[in-house]
Copies of this chain bind each other. A is one copy, B any other.
């Protein structure tokens, strides 16, 4: 056990307890200074106004470090673990969520930052289980048709060696998980509550079976309740973890459509199964399919045709040994090319050189730091030489925390 990594783990758990997942302000601060320093600053001075606002009332009631230590002990007792970006098994694709945070009134849009850490229950390595994975989501009130379709596509994907990721809800989610289990394949439930809770309670057996071969995953510590708003926050993880999202059935305002939108924002495949035009549970699907960028799929062959293209790119984007910069967005690439090797540039100066809006540079540069492409130097940023294949294979969050590979 590396003491720095364990300090980071404790700090990330404490920060997760203090702030609801998705906070962009917190994530960027952690990316820049490392979790331990951010927690120290928060506890020591209380002067970190931006974060104080996010932290709210919890800071004043309990010692967050003690609470985090207790949480980690409880996690171990459950047979679960906390996976953090400093770990090798962290799925780097989740950090792409930083690219979709936006200013805006809707807190869901504003707070779509990557998770600080994940509670995981199950035998597999998180990154490996998710490497070839597809999200299959949809209506809780699935029809018999939707249940059949979800189970079949879950089976087909798992049978072909792909992991089926879903939210463990009634209806489409549960049938997708069950289909994957029936094929003897891997499936991942991304929960909106602690990994020790069965929600819905009638899925206790299902979750138990999933945790035997697959994984139960959550951003919330054990005991956390499935509050309504947490489902929408959770959805971004389902979208980001996978190569693409398949919606099986969805009413006009289904939450599954939000997962699909997130997938689109992240450049993942958006796929939708059609249904009878007479079914209210396919209305949302058909509206989505009127978007030419959303692909109609009727089963695993169609799905793999879509994600097969992307999955070659997906892993290398962040962790791949070949050309790590291939996965950068245009603005990210321009900013990176604008940086110098020795002379630090402020984000304003880099923005001017790159021809990128200053606000965007302020958002992007810290994320380039966390991914190891740039580093802080004095009051500015410098470029990091193209990392070697070995370095590029490291967990992307490792660089700023100074953890060895």
Contacts and interface: CB of A to CB of B under 8 A. Distances in A.
Interface residues of A, number: 21
Interface in A227-276: 273-276
Given A289-B296, A295-B290, A277 B274 contact: yes
Number of copies: 2
B278 A148 contact: yes
Interface of A: 145, 148-149, 273-278, 282-283, 286, 289-290, 292-293, 295-296, 298-299, 302
21 contacts: A145-B276, A145-B278, A148-B278, A149-B276, A149-B277, A149-B278, A274-B276, A274-B277, A274-B282, A274-B286, A274-B289, A275-B275, A275-B276, A275-B277, A277-B298, A277-B299, A286-B298, A290-B295, A290-B296, A290-B302, A296-B296
7 shortest A-B CB distances, which residue pairs? A274-B274, A292-B292, A277-B298, A289-B296, A286-B298, A290-B296, A276-B276
A289 B290 contact: no
Contacts of A293: 292
Given A290-B302, A302-B290, A296 B274 contact: yes
Contacts of A299: 277
A405 B145 CA distance: 59
User: Among A289, A292, A296, A299, which residue has the most Cβ atoms of chain B within 10 A?
Assistant: A296
Contacts of A275: 274-277
